[in-house]
Amino acid sequence: MKPPPTYAIMREMIETNLASKLKDGLPAELVGFMQTAGELAAGRGQSLYLVGGMVRDLLLGKPNLDLDLVVEGDAVELARELAGLKAARITTHPRFRTAKLTWASFSVDFTSARSESYARPGALPTVEPGSLESDLFRRDFTINAMAVSLDASRYGALIDHYGGQSDLEQRLIRVLHERSFVDDATRIWRGLRYEQRLDFHLEEATLNWLKRDIPRLDTISGDRLRYELECVFREAQPEKTLCRADELGVLTKLHPALAADGWLVDRFRLARRLSLPHPPSFALYLALLAYRLSGEECGELTSSLKLSKPVARIVRDTATLKAKIKTLSYPEIKPSYVYRLLHGLSPSAIVAGSIATASPVARQRMESYLHKLRYVKPALNGSDLIGVGITPGPRVKELLERLREARLNGKAVSRQDEEVLLKEWLSETT
């Protein structure tokens, strides 16, 4: 699809310049880098632009250090020249005409201006060289389809073909054309993320097209859906996006049994408090989201999202643990029994279970296992047992487990206590 005529708004008669915002909002090193890059591009007869999320956030006054630069020319060659000047590490993808520079704590992505077309809904796009205008038109929403010129003659000038600045002021999330969600239904998830993160709302036509095209999510691969969910979980309050997705019928496209409600909101908030100073992991959030699913439904979810084995195990173990909550709530069970119930389950699944359960007793026992019980082991080892005449084999393992239980239940607190118990047990069998 070709871009429509340039979006005409009154402000284009008075050019907006973001040079001062660049200077005030970014580290001096990045500002200097962009100026140098713009000069080098101009020397090649090319134009260079800052695009995407950083432009949006500059206008909103929000911090963002993700530099995405688009060049109307060869991005890979420009990046190579800049890498030499900065002694930066460069990663190139010539097929896609992209490159990434990394140095110190900074990274910058370079892309050649391009246009995209879609052979069918949900397919990855076919990429062809294009202009800045066509490059901006391929983007998801108007607020992400703005650019800033890095040419010395127009440094800092805002290029806003599609009304992104106006939509920022009106707090709107708007797609650039009616087929946007048809071409790439993952934009549905991205639209909900931006709406909730920025406290904006979906523009009326955009919302109607989004609802219309929810079935298009069935055309998206599990890998791409998982990536979108990972992006949701990286938000400061992912439960807001999930609740909105549930309200619109988007969440159930991941699995029909999923729900986002007050229960989930409370669990996500608790997960963040318990994970401080770090955010909860993707696996922990996902285990909580899937907690109310059956074991079979968890298996369907892990399969459809093509989860890695470690993450799939956490989700699976959380479902297994849920069936043990009633037993963990019994008042009289011994620490050794708690150990047997929880041993072998992923610690992350136990954390999820402790957050999810409504039983204070079960929660206390899971926390006790995580912080104490799982580290308990006897002072005596297999060599010690073989040294007193026990034949190597299953009998050694059995006695070591009995010694661990004695430690767990407070019947042995020292090596000497274990030796006394071992003698008693051996005398019983002679």
Under 8 Å between Cβ of 75 and 98: yes
**pLDDT value at 314 more than 70:** yes
CB 101 within 8 A of CB 83: yes
Distance CA 86, CA 101 (A): 9
CB-CB contact of 298 with 316 (8 Å): yes
Classify burial at 32, counting beta carbons within 10 Å of its beta carbon; exposed 0-12, middle 13-18, buried 19 or more.
exposed
Residue 129 CA: distances (Å) to CA of 46, 121, 332 = 14, 21, 71
Whether residue 121 has pLDDT greater than 90 = no
Q: Average of pLDDT values for 171-200?
A: 96
pLDDT in tens, 277-306: 999 999 999 999 999 999 999 999 999 999
**Interval 39-57: pLDDT, tens:** 999 999 999 999 989 999 9
DSSP string for 269-312: HHHHHHHTTSPPPHHHHHHHHTTTS-HHHHHHHHHHTT--HHHH
Nearest Cα residue to 49 out of 178, 165, 159, 149: 149
Tokens of 7: 């979006």
- pLDDT reading at 11 higher than 50: no
pLDDT at 10: 41
DSSP letter string, 327-357 = HHT-TT--HHHHHHHHTTS-HHHHHHHHHH-
Structure tokens at 136: 């901006």
pLDDT, residue 114, reads: 82
What lies within 8 Å, CB to CB, of 16 at 6+ separation is 157, 158, 160, 165
High-pLDDT (> 70) share of the chain, %:
93
Q: Which two tokens stand for residue 188?
A: 């549905």
pLDDT score of 430 more than 70: no
Beta bridge partner(s), residue 264: none
Residue 132 has pLDDT above 70, yes or no: yes
What is the rounded distance in angstroms from the CA atom of residue 47 to the CA atom of residue 69?
10
pLDDT over 50 at 8, yes or no: no
CATH tag for 10-169 (out of 3.40.50.300, 2.30.30.40, 3.20.20.100, 3.30.460.10) = 3.30.460.10
d(CA 25, CA 335): 55
Mean pLDDT confidence for 197-204: 97
Distances (CA, A) of 24 to 18, 298, 324: 10, 48, 55
Quick check: helix, strand or coil at residue 30? helix
- β strands within 157-215, DSSP E: 158-159, 172-173, 201-202
Tell me what pLDDT residue 171 has: 97
Query: Average pLDDT, whole number, for the chain?
Result: 91
- Biggest CA–CA distance in the chain, Å, is 101
H or E segment to which residue 427 belongs = helix 415-428
Which sequence spans correspond to the domains of the chain? 10-169, 255-375, 382-428
Q: Is the dihedral of CA 16, 19, 25, 31 positive or negative?
A: positive
The set of residues, in sequence order, having a beta carbon less than 8 Å from that of 286 and lying 6+ positions away, is 229, 233, 307, 311, 314, 315
Mapped onto helix, strand or coil, the DSSP state of residue 421 is helix
**pTM over cut 0.85:** yes
Confidence of residue 4 (pLDDT cuts 50, 70, 90): low
- pLDDT(112) > 70: yes
Cα–Cα distances in angstroms (integers) from residue 219 to residues 21, 67, 122, 175, 384, in the given order: 41, 31, 5, 19, 61
Residue 128 has pLDDT above 90, yes or no: no
- The two tokens of residue 62 are 């929000």
Whole-number Å distance between alpha carbons of 417 and 169: 73
The pLDDT, as a whole number, for residue 360 is: 95
Q: What is the pLDDT of residues 345-388, one digit of tens each?
A: 999 999 999 999 999 999 999 999 999 999 999 999 999 888 88
pLDDT band for 130, please (50, 70, 90 cuts): confident
In this structure, what token pair is assigned to residue 363?
């929660």
CATH number of 255-375: 1.20.58.1960
Q: Which of 298-312, 315-329, 384-398 has the lowest mean pLDDT?
A: 384-398
Exposure string of 258-270, with b = 16+ CB inside 10 Å and e = fewer, is bbbeeebeebbee
Cα–Cα dist 111/24, whole Å? 25
